[in-house]
Amino acid sequence: MLGPSSSHTAAPVRIGNIASQLMPGRLKEAVISFPAEGSFAKTYKGHRSDIGFAGGLLGYDTDNREILNALNQLKSENVRVLFKLVNKQADHPNTVYIDLENTSGQKVFLTALSLGGGMIEIVEVNNFELSLRGDYYELLIFLDKEHSVTERNLANFDELIAAKNRAVECRHVSAIKNNDGNSGNEVEKAAYLVNYKLFDNLPEDLLSEIAGLDHVTSVKLVAPVLPVFGNHSFRPPFSSAVDLVKVLNGKDIGISEAAIIYETTRSGWSKNHVIKEIDNVIEVMEQAVQEGLNQKKAGKIIASQSHLIKRAENAGKLVPVGCANNALAFSMAVVEVNVTSGIVVAAPTAGSSGVLPGALLGVAADNGFDLSVIRQGMLAAGCIGLLIAKGATFAAEVCGCQAECGAAASMAAAGIVQLYGGSGEQSLAGASIALQNVLGLICDPVAEQAEVPCLGKNVLASVNAIASANMALAGVDPVIPLDEVIQAMYNVGNALPQELRCTGLGGLAATPTAQKIKRTINDE
């Protein structure tokens, strides 16, 4: 993805992309509104959410560098884009309301959530509640009368779709909540929404045929924005550390192999496809490291500094701590690429994108590990990320930076244990120790930029991962099992005050120096 934030840059791209697919014709105006007390309201400029939404409206993917010019591109196309704060109470801190209008006067409005790590959910379209996460082809059929939703009508839809597309995951029928806010188009007439989740596209002639049926007011088809399809019938081989241990013992395999079992079962991909994807992840991380070490770009606050580590190390000016100095330089390099809107891997987030490259690649470089070994470590790290995603969150807006850099340290510790051939239980022990070490870590971005203290926290997490891995490899008992630590992280995160969860209102962000930096940036 293009930096600097998975929650606030990549997710807006995906939300904007889906919104653009829901809007027929040529876009005339987009009004993007954030609850005044939410996280977007405080950070959308610093985290480049504005260009993220604009890039999505233009149909860009999260790694398209043209996103940086998206607002200017829309302006050149005579599309008016407005960002507003509204006094609405929202259950999720990363809530956004989008109102679109095309040149024909048709309107679409939706409510969306950024869930952390670039994951999203559209929870409302034109006053219809639904759950659209960008992991299917989504067919939306709007019907005009209450009695139009009958078993016969639904059977007709099923039959038509089955004739062209046999990969129907599920069907959901939603009644309209109310008619407030609908104006001047077919939405005002709609009483029901029928939503099909599909694994394949549908031909235009079928969409036209459905649109011509009685009581149908509108038909929309939304293409997926995620790389892997959803799977409602999926029964995971494990979703907790306890279950993972059972899989490991039952099959006598390592944690990296368990990751492949999970991924092939979940996605339907072959093992070779999974390996190809993880190798691509590693390649992008390696490129980000080299780009950061060589670039001279500066962020809004910090200059390029990662190259200073190696220079000082070569001059004998640093404490000789081996691979930890690699971790310092590598993690800093990736963060510097991220904050200058370069391409990074959200691992698990963009705010923590320096941790796995710093820790895993730093250790691998110091020991001469090849790609096959690094791959095993990265797969093991992904396994821990899965457990954290299942048991908690990656969103700093929900749980603070313990959910970002803390989660990344936990993942990296398990990955390093795997690099050294440790057991699955040792990987889980390292992950537990690393996450225990940073419980309560706050998210306090200075001037709403993903630079300070993010740079230092990525370094902290990388070194924490190395130390925790060594403790686990030595046989140190983490005492608290990983599943319980993940739950504790979630509980602690929800207990943190809003000021300490990526709002720029507390911690270092509230210091006099930070406020001065913020005024300087705002005056630019």
Q: How far apart are CA 211 and CA 144, in angstroms?
A: 12
Give the torsion through C-alpha atoms of 415, 417, 422, 426, to 10 deg: -100
Asked if 212 and 255 sit in the same domain, the reply is no
Q: Render the burial of 385-415: b for 16+ CB within 10 Å, e for the rest.
A: bbbbbebbbbbbbbbbbbbbbbbbbbbbbbb
How confident is the model over 83-93, as pLDDT tens digits?
999 999 999 99
pTM listed for this prediction:
0.93
Asked if 284 and 167 sit in the same domain, the reply is no
pLDDT value for 516: 96
- Contact, 245 vs 252, CB < 8 A? no
- Contact, 15 vs 120, CB < 8 A? yes
Asked if 168 and 295 sit in the same domain, the reply is no
Average pLDDT estimate for 425-444: 97
Asked if 462 and 341 sit in the same domain, the reply is yes
pLDDT category of residue 298 using cuts at 50, 70 and 90? confident
Q: How far apart are CA 371 and CA 364, in angstroms?
A: 9
Backbone phi, then psi, for 219, in 5-degree steps?
-135, 130
Residue 230 belongs to some domain of the structure: no
Asked if 412 and 467 sit in the same domain, the reply is yes
Residue 356 belongs to some domain of the structure: yes
Asked if 14 and 45 sit in the same domain, the reply is yes
How confident is the model over 194-236, as pLDDT tens digits?
999 998 899 899 999 999 988 899 999 999 999 999 988 889 9
Residue 228 belongs to some domain of the structure: no
Q: How many CA atoms lie within 13 A of 422 on its CB side?
A: 27
Using the 3D structure, point to which of 190, 222, 254 is the last residue of a domain. Answer: 222
Residue 229 belongs to some domain of the structure: no
Q: Which residue range forms the structural domain that includes residue 136? A: 6-222
Asked if 209 and 335 sit in the same domain, the reply is no
pLDDT value for 144: 86
pLDDT of 370 > 90? The answer is yes
Average pLDDT estimate for 128-153: 88
| Residue 124 DSSP SS3 | strand
Asked if 193 and 308 sit in the same domain, the reply is no
Asked if 462 and 427 sit in the same domain, the reply is yes
Please measure the distance between the N-terminal and C-terminal CA atoms of the chain and give it in whole angstroms: 26
- Where residue 73 sits, what CATH number does that domain have? 3.30.1330.90
How confident is the model over 178-199, as pLDDT tens digits?
544 444 444 445 788 999 999 8
How confident is the model over 303-345, as pLDDT tens digits?
999 999 999 999 999 999 999 999 999 999 999 999 999 999 9
Asked if 425 and 482 sit in the same domain, the reply is yes
Asked if 384 and 271 sit in the same domain, the reply is yes
Average pLDDT estimate for 493-522: 95
Residues 269, 271, 275: CA angle, nearest 5 degrees:
100
Percent of the chain scored above 90 by pLDDT?
84
Task: Work out the mean pLDDT of the chain and round it to a whole number.
Answer: 93
- Contact, 282 vs 375, CB < 8 A? yes
Using the 3D structure, point to which of 222, 252, 287 is the last residue of a domain. Answer: 222
Residue 419 belongs to some domain of the structure: yes
Asked if 143 and 292 sit in the same domain, the reply is no
3-state DSSP helix/strand/coil percent for the chain, to nearest 5?
A: 50, 15, 35
Residue 458 belongs to some domain of the structure: yes
pLDDT value for 153: 80
Q: How far apart are CA 152 and CA 143, in angstroms?
A: 14
Total number of domains in the chain? 2
For 147-161, 169-183, 207-221, 494-508, which range has the lowest pLDDT when averaged over its residues?
A: 169-183
